[in-house]
Structure 1
Amino acid sequence: MRFPQNTRKFISIGRTIGILIILLLLISIVANWWANYVWQEEVGFSSVFVTMFLTKIGLGIAGFLLFFISAMVLFFNIRATFIKELPTENRSFIIANRKLFAWLNIGVSFLIGLFGSLLVRGIGWERTLGYLNQEAFGVTDPYFGRDISFFVYTLPMWNFIIGVLLVMLGAILVIKLSFYSIYELIKHSQRAQRHFLSSVLLFGIVVALKYLLAPYERALSNSVNLFQDSVVVGVSFTDKYVNIPFDYIMAGVTLLATVLFVLAILRRKVSFVKLAVPLFVGAFILGNAASLVVQSFIVSPNELAKEEPFLANNIDLTRKAYELDKIKTEDMEINDSLTQEMLERNEDTIKNIRINDTRPLKEVYNQLQTFRPYYDFVDIDIDRYKIDGQYQQVFISTRELTQKNLPDRAQTWVNRNLRYTHGYGAAISNVNAITSEGQPEYIVKDLPPKGSIEITRPQIYFGENDYNSVIVNSKVNEFDFPDNEDSASNRYEADSGIQLNGLNRLLFAWNEKAYRYIISKQVTSESRLLQTRNIYDRVHRIAPFLEIEPDAYPVVRDDGTMVWMMDAFTKSDRYPYSDHNGHSFNYIRNPIKITVDAYTGEVVFYLIDPEEPIAKTYNKMFPDLFTTEVPKDIQEHFRYPVKLFETQSDLYRAYHMTNLELFYNREDYWQFPTEKYYGEDISMEPYYVTMKMDDADQEEFILMTPFTPNKKQNMSAWMGVRNDGEHYGEMFVYTFSKQRNIYGPQQIENRINQNDTISQELNLWSQGGSKVIRGNLLVIPIEDTLMYVEPMYIESNNETALPEVKRIIVSYQDYIVMEPTLDKALERLMGLIGDNVPPNEAEEQPDEEAPTPPQSLTPDGLLNEIQAAFEDYRKANQAGNYAEAGQALQKMEELLEQWRAKRDSKGKESNGD
């Protein structure tokens, strides 16, 4: 076919533009890939990147070839069929434009091949590597007798292959049916019929294979039919006797229906189609109907008896999947045994009771320790250190740079890319000590950081903020920290980062879309690019298959350098018989710890549990990713992940019951207690305490949470996990007597609210432009007894107000005391216990700083006292001394009551009464 000259010119221009666009796309793809490889090589994990890349490329090529060749063969056969079977006039058009149709065939097949490549590569690379490197779990599924690895690795791979084939064969069927419906070739052409039926047969075989795998999927679900779920997760009574047999029946019915459909077209007998469709649909409906009948009329009326062995599998495998079977349980008798000697024996426990909370503390840090608007404390974390030989729990946070808070005039390219490159130092404070003003008592503070923990390399180039890339070792000195006279400068001393010499400078100018990398005279061949500085993005870029705990925390190492500690989880949603409990997974472990150096960005993946099967598989997939040698100063700061502990404790509320009848009826179902926090009743979150275990010589770091019975507020148990040394990860539960009330957190909160002395003082503080903040209520185990501690904050309603710890409430047995410090509260508590003061009288004891009632005065004298009290209130309120303001306000109210009483008395006397 010849086109007009103008048309040929436009076609030529279009072809040139198309070629240029394709070249630019290819250059962009290659440049981005090469930049990623250079970055991975710089951080030391290029082998991980190459393994993933080659696997994706291999699968992409396989997917492309599978779909491309299938499409080429499909369209070639369709064209050949049309040439042979179409009328002469239509056939001659196809023959005359054979080259055009050939190019269309290639073009469309190429696009279909690209789709197949993306489909196979996108969801198949991790399944393929996992399948090829899978490690056994050492646990056998009780119904099929297969190792758990079959469900985690093998079955997903088989399903993946079948899914790809179903997509491809289904598309081929639709395309053939559409084309062969033209001129009714599907009816009249034997060639078209054979071509179409070959795909029907293949599609039917693949669907039958899908049904053959369906019984294994029953072990992963609690659904028994389209309308009902079972009380059992995994294979249930209805699955065993109805659903699984019908899965095999449906595989056979699918093959039979496929054969009937093929015969119907070959022999031109519509009756075979009329038989095939009802056969398949009827078998499907019959299977679900049988399941519905059995579940409704056989299982449900006697559910426990029918599901007993299957429920036992559910409980057993769920406990294994979440390691609940390793929890040590012990009955604990709570005694009224608190003595001064006991407090002295547990001195480290008392010293580490947290009387500050992270939420108000973050406000304090950001107001008192940032010093400049471009610094920010992102989060307050809890850790422990040995300070002057003492094991001490601390709050810690890093002072990170936030470039968007620089003044507008400072928002220049040089400042954002070369000068303002890093945060500086950390603030560390005691969890249990406050100043006289109610502020935290710092262990490390100020710029440069000074304190009991030495920080030798305070610069923070990598952290939790959303950082952009920066260039170090340029001709511009980096801003280090604000000094009294002038800003201190810094030069980057590490070998980290991508050296911007030669081709790298051009490559990363393209990658970062920053042409100034090339033209700036401030950037030299010795300059280094620090890229991907957010620690979560950095780890994800290296190992995208790992899920990271979203709460990294900084650690000051023995040499004074700082690293970020992170936790990585291995998960699966394919652990048979295990309960998802509302999560996207039903198996979880924490075998991997990660550190990211805050200065160099060096990432280290520590495999702390080499026998965990999924991590073991990852280790085979990527042999250069993990190390098993953990430095002592890193191991000392391991924290059991809160997210993992929350998941396990949530499951344990039901799965602590191993008695089938108890579990089925949820007779001993536990709840998380509630507490009053920031004026609201919230579910109590796990928290860290320092305490001494029975088998330990010293106090250790424990993550714990209390439990209460279902719809009750008394405490039934508490769960903890150890964090230190060789006992790391050991979980335990102490259960309490059901015959005696052990106060739960909400009961303590209610008793605080009902205490006349405390509630009156809190109400006074809530007046005069300030508010009371209730901190976390902590349950503190001390040997065989329990104590409850809650801080009280006072905060002005001003936007720049600082929350201040003004009182500490301590509760024990029926005693509740409130004092300015924990030491005073304990001293008063022990005095009441030692003097055998009844709890109801103890509650009436006035706070030692509470205002004393004024003496009787004349009305004029009372007015003078009222005026003086008002002046005291005004001054205290302006100075932010809200406790003193509250006392002055209380004194004013008492004086006013006396003045009214004298006024009323005088009025009665003047009336002759």
Structure 2
Amino acid sequence: MTTQTAAPARRRRAALAITLGVVVVLLIGFFLFAGLYADALWFGKLGYSSVLYTEWLTIAGLFVVGFLAMAVPVIVTIQLAYRLRPVYAKLTAQLDRYQQVIEPLRRVVMIGAPVVVGLFAGVSAAARWQPILLLLHGTTVGRKDPVFGLDAGFYLFSLPALHGIVGFASAVLVVCTIAALATAYLYGGIRVVGRDVRVSRAARVQIAITVAVFLVLQAVSLYLDQFTTLYDTSTGGLFTGAAYADANAVIPGRLILAVCALIVAALFVVTAVIGRWRLPLIGTGLLVVTSIIIGSVFPWAMWNLQVKPNEQGFERPYISDAIKATQYAYGLEGLEQIPYNASTSATEGALRSDAQTTANIRIIDPRVVAPTFGQFQQFKQYYSFPTYLDVDRYTIDGQTQDAVVAVRELNQQGLSNSSAFNNTFVYTHGYGLVAAYGNQRTSDGAPSFFESNIPTKGSLGITQPGIYFGERSPQFSVVGAPKGAKPVELDYVSGNDADGNQRNTTYAATGAGEGGPSVGNLFNRLVYALKFSSDQILLSTDGVNQDSQILYDRDPRTRVQKVAPYLTLDNDPYPTVVNGRIVWIVDGYTTSDSYPYSASESLSDALSDSSTTAGANFSTDDVNYVRNSVKATVDAYSGKVTLYAWDDQDPVLKAWTSVFPNTVKPLSQIDSQLMSHVRYPEDMFRVQRQILTQYHVTDPTSWYRKDDVWRTPPDPSAPAAAAGTADTTDDRSQQPPYYLTMQLPGQDDPTFSLYSTYIPGSNTRESRGVLTGYLAVDADAGAEKGTKRQDYGKLRLLVLPRDTVVSGPTQVQNQFQSDPTIKSQLNLLNIGGTGGSSVVPGNLLTIPVGGGLLYVEPVYVKSATGQSYPLLRKVLTSFGSKVAFEDTLDQSLNSLFGGDSGADTPDSGTGSGTGSTGAGSGSGSGSGSGSTGSGSGSNADNPEVQRALADAQKALTAREQAYAKNDLVAAARADQQLQDAIERAVAADR
């Protein structure tokens, strides 16, 4: 190819490359713009544009500041070092080669390298937008730290941001120093001649001044470090905060080191003037030695020689400060500790004075009955219920009762015709809320529903049952149509309708803060088609119209997190019915990790138990300050998000409402129906119960000895625990807290509460499982508009005397499993193989009644084959050393308390059982009798037992067939036959 033909070809290739590059840049830019534009539409639709724009402006501003703060000094440093280079310096051949290589790209490198470093610095600065906003909007707390006398607001709002600023500035100086050294060396400002290092005057001044400024920043950092001592783990790890050695050695030492750093910085300035390096180098060496002596050796010596021999005496005032700060930071100041000398004698009529509490004992376990809800209330394969249901309370016929609730959400994986069109436009939402009494069941052991079916029927007055926003909603749906258009979305299919046909609907939420962004124009359709990689959004003419809107980010937690990015959210949003609409309630927490002297706690550890998912992600895992400051609601139909200031005295919330004004409504705007369903949040309670394992002790001397540390017991009803394979040292095996309506000492009436128990704190397999404490919080916010009940959030801790032995949950479960009579019946219910069944233990509840502690555990049975689901068959109870196992709660309590417990429970159907058993003889009811607690299990060689077991298997098979045909009458008849067979087997086994 000739030169004349090659040149146009090169130009064409260059033009093509430039064109492709421009196209790629434009495409990338459009994708980025589309994402930002979609966010703007979403926030604008919800009415929270100010949150997005404040966040964007802050991030953008910090990025620019971070970029310029890094790039400009580095560029200036490199340019100065280059311009002030020695012109006639003799360089080595190697440096000459380096210069020859770099020279063609010198301008690009001198500008490009600082720009690249500046981009990383900008990203780093932008990531700290929240601490910067808190620095600008922080307020006072009204509590001072015990060492410096500063308001706690300095630690919550100012100190974290100041540390970040100083750290960033130090990084800039480090990069500038490296850049100055490299440039000076490359261009002869620094030369190494043998063992001699020669530095030009210009390089000396530049490097010395840069290092001096860096040392000044280190002095500032050391000054700030003295304050961080108040929320660092102290020497020896005894508690969080400054201990004796910290207050008397570490803190003064950091001040001394700060002064030393300033002196050495002055020496570097002197060197810049007089040109001698000896003084600053000697000063730097002395600074290092001084930091080792003052920063490490002196505190170590004070600790070992002075403090350690009498640690308790020296640390007592600091421990007292830590206890007080921790109690405040975790909302434990109002904790009432009540000595509780629990009775262990199950006497007749002992529960008569606790009739209201026993009437509300929840026998329906929300962690067990989800498959049962699905069996009776799912109706279609494209609906589903969550794995764990929720506990709420409703007033039915003038009486407030605990309820187990769940919403019937859409499950597109269950669709037989899962086309893109159906998934996008037809199957868009779930339908209805299902609620069952917590203290009742049907005759066949199923939950007793008071809100159910499709169309929804019941006592709650639901007027809008559509579930467009839920925990299992599809990623996105396109909904809406002009008025009068033929509905496309499936609402429900019900055979109860006159014609039994499909009922369609059109999404109609168009008010302020409701629904989703419009996709009625081509540009918006293109943006969302790219966002979700969906051709249906862009191309469908049957599904998209001028009134269409797109619903996405539909999980309640996701929606709240986006409009309130400063909140840490509870892991368990729960649905409730408010003014005829299904509404999700989400609890939001403001947290900090810098409250002085407060104990630090890992959220992932504190929130882990047998009912939670391990590995939850938090923006900040370790915290030492928590407030349930916000109650948020998400309308399940419209998606509207509303934030309410639940703790308007929280200084952290005050700061954020200053950042995002008019986004959080006052408590006074919570209406009475919503207030009646607000409950004390589980995650807040989990954190508090974890802190109280150690901080229930308020005397510094006793706290120091750590001879009364507690822990949460393992969950005996978890699958691994029931099988005897649980690792009791694993946080994930801990028993979760439970909601119950009960009356504690000091309360006039039973209230909706949340409770947990404690056992001794030795976290080994050999540790004792006796009960040491019982923590409960008043979880009922009342039903008055805009006003919390006075006792809401009141924490009460029943402390059991050390000289009494009251069985803990794991010990009680062991009593159940080792009792011969109960074991025999459980073995009969655990009939494996085809047509067999298995036992599913329900939650083991602990209830302070009768002057002691009553344990109640519902026992479920499910088929071992087919579409199995658990049904409540038996109830285990324990009080003191006695246990009982009967068909109903009422019968079990009567057996336990000598034939008449004095309780009156809704679960009081007819049936027979095995009576009560214990250390001594006991009297039973029905066909059962007492037992001394010794003996063996079932005798499988007995012909009568074998015939009874065969009849039991036939009954189980008949029951399974009946449920498969949805023949509840035949199923009930088979259940009775099964019960008869079990009773005959028990009688023959004796």
**Structure 2 length normalisation: TM-score?**
0.82
Residue matched to 2:619? none
Deviations for 1:239-282, whole angstroms, at most 9, x for unmatched residues?
Answer: 12211121112212223334445656765655446523421221
Equivalent residue runs for 1:442-841 within 5 Å: 442-465=449-472, 467-474=474-481, 477-484=488-495, 485-495=500-510, 496-502=515-521, 503-522=523-542, 523-557=544-578, 559-583=579-603, 584-628=622-666, 629-677=669-717, 678=719, 679=722, 680=724, 682-692=733-743, 698-710=749-761, 711-724=767-780, 725=782, 726=789, 727-768=791-832, 769-782=836-849, 784-798=851-865, 800-832=867-899
Deviation of 1:510 (Å) = 3.9
- Higher mean Cα deviation, 315-324 or 104-113? 104-113
Given that residues 232 and 307 in structure 1 are in contact (C-alpha distance below 8 angstroms), is that contact kept between their aligned partners in structure 2?
A: no
Amino acid across the alignment from 2:257: M
Q: 1:114 aligns with which of 106, 115, 119?
A: 119
| CA–CA separation in structure 2 for the residues paired with 1:838 and 1:330 | 31
Residue 382 of structure 2 is aligned to residue 363 of structure 1:
no
Residue matched to 1:858? none
| CA–CA separation in structure 2 for the residues paired with 1:812 and 1:826 | 9
Deviation of 1:175 (Å) = 1.5
Residue matched to 1:390? 399
| CA–CA separation in structure 2 for the residues paired with 1:888 and 1:392 | 35
User: Structure 2 unaligned runs (5+)?
Assistant: 1-5, 191-197, 604-621, 727-732, 762-766, 783-788, 903-914, 931-940, 960-973
| CA–CA separation in structure 2 for the residues paired with 1:469 and 1:132 | 38
Q: Alignment partner of 2:634: what SS?
A: strand
Residue 202 of structure 2 is aligned to residue 204 of structure 1:
no
Deviations for 1:768-787, whole angstroms, at most 9, x for unmatched residues?
Answer: 44332322221222364432
Deviation of 1:844 (Å) = 6.6
Distance 1:892 1:700, change over 3 A: closer
Distance 1:884 1:68, change over 3 A: same
Amino acid across the alignment from 1:508: Y
Residue matched to 1:156? 160
Deviations for 1:545-570, whole angstroms, at most 9, x for unmatched residues?
Answer: 2111010000011x321000110001
Residue 70 of structure 2 is aligned to residue 51 of structure 1:
no
Distance 1:388 1:353, change over 3 A: same
Deviations for 1:296-347, whole angstroms, at most 9, x for unmatched residues?
Answer: 2221221111111111111111111112221122233445798887756544
Deviation of 1:591 (Å) = 1.4
Q: Alignment partner of 1:291: what SS?
A: helix
| CA–CA separation in structure 2 for the residues paired with 1:106 and 1:11 | 25
Amino acid across the alignment from 1:40: F
Deviation of 1:740 (Å) = 3.4
Q: Alignment partner of 1:181: what SS?
A: helix
| CA–CA separation in structure 2 for the residues paired with 1:870 and 1:148 | 69
Q: 1:399 aligns with which of 387, 408, 411?
A: 408
Q: Alignment partner of 2:736: what SS?
A: coil
Amino acid across the alignment from 1:749: Q
Deviations for 1:747-796, whole angstroms, at most 9, x for unmatched residues?
Answer: 32233234322122222222344332322221222364432211112233
Deviations for 1:372-430, whole angstroms, at most 9, x for unmatched residues?
Answer: 222111130001000111111010011111223322xx222211111110011122111
Given that residues 377 and 453 in structure 2 are in contact (C-alpha distance below 8 angstroms), is that contact kept between their aligned partners in structure 1?
A: yes
Residue 67 of structure 2 is aligned to residue 64 of structure 1:
yes
Equivalent residue runs for 1:275-286 within 5 Å: 275-286=282-293
Distance 1:519 1:713, change over 3 A: closer
Equivalent residue runs for 1:859-878 within 5 Å: 869=948, 872-878=951-957
Q: Alignment partner of 2:368: what SS?
A: helix
Given that residues 719 and 733 in structure 1 are in contact (C-alpha distance below 8 angstroms), is that contact kept between their aligned partners in structure 2?
A: yes
Residue matched to 2:333? 325
Amino acid across the alignment from 1:520: S
Distance 1:654 1:843, change over 3 A: same
Q: Alignment partner of 2:256: what SS?
A: helix
Give the length in aligned residue pairs: 877
Q: Alignment partner of 1:706: what SS?
A: strand
Amino acid across the alignment from 1:119: S
Given that residues 810 and 817 in structure 1 are in contact (C-alpha distance below 8 angstroms), is that contact kept between their aligned partners in structure 2?
A: yes
Residue 38 of structure 2 is aligned to residue 25 of structure 1:
no
Deviations for 1:137-181, whole angstroms, at most 9, x for unmatched residues?
Answer: 111000010011101111112111111111111111112112212
RMSD: 3.3
Residue matched to 1:854? none
Distance 1:101 1:83, change over 3 A: farther
Given that residues 83 and 91 in structure 1 are in contact (C-alpha distance below 8 angstroms), is that contact kept between their aligned partners in structure 2?
A: no
| CA–CA separation in structure 2 for the residues paired with 1:254 and 1:585 | 32
**Structure 1 length normalisation: TM-score?**
0.89
Where relative contact order (Cα < 8 A, 6+ residues apart) is larger, the structure is: 2
Q: Alignment partner of 2:716: what SS?
A: strand
Q: Alignment partner of 1:311: what SS?
A: helix
Distance 1:208 1:11, change over 3 A: farther
Distance 1:821 1:636, change over 3 A: same
| CA–CA separation in structure 2 for the residues paired with 1:253 and 1:9 | 66
Residue matched to 1:412? 419
| CA–CA separation in structure 2 for the residues paired with 1:704 and 1:113 | 53
- Higher mean Cα deviation, 384-393 or 814-823? 814-823
Q: Alignment partner of 2:139: what SS?
A: coil
| CA–CA separation in structure 1 for the residues paired with 2:248 and 2:946 | 87
| CA–CA separation in structure 2 for the residues paired with 1:7 and 1:286 | 69
- Higher mean Cα deviation, 351-360 or 691-700? 691-700
Amino acid across the alignment from 1:256: I
Deviation of 1:58 (Å) = 1.9
| CA–CA separation in structure 2 for the residues paired with 1:427 and 1:444 | 5
- Higher mean Cα deviation, 382-391 or 47-56? 47-56
Identity of aligned residues (%): 29
Amino acid across the alignment from 1:157: A
- Higher mean Cα deviation, 747-756 or 693-702? 693-702
Deviation of 1:720 (Å) = 1.0
Distance 1:745 1:867, change over 3 A: closer
Equivalent residue runs for 1:415-426 within 5 Å: 415-426=422-433
Residue 335 of structure 2 is aligned to residue 316 of structure 1:
no
Deviations for 1:630-669, whole angstroms, at most 9, x for unmatched residues?
Answer: 1111111111111111111111122121111111111222
| CA–CA separation in structure 2 for the residues paired with 1:866 and 1:137 | 71
Deviations for 1:704-743, whole angstroms, at most 9, x for unmatched residues?
Answer: 1122344443333311111222122111222233443334
Given that residues 204 and 255 in structure 1 are in contact (C-alpha distance below 8 angstroms), is that contact kept between their aligned partners in structure 2?
A: yes
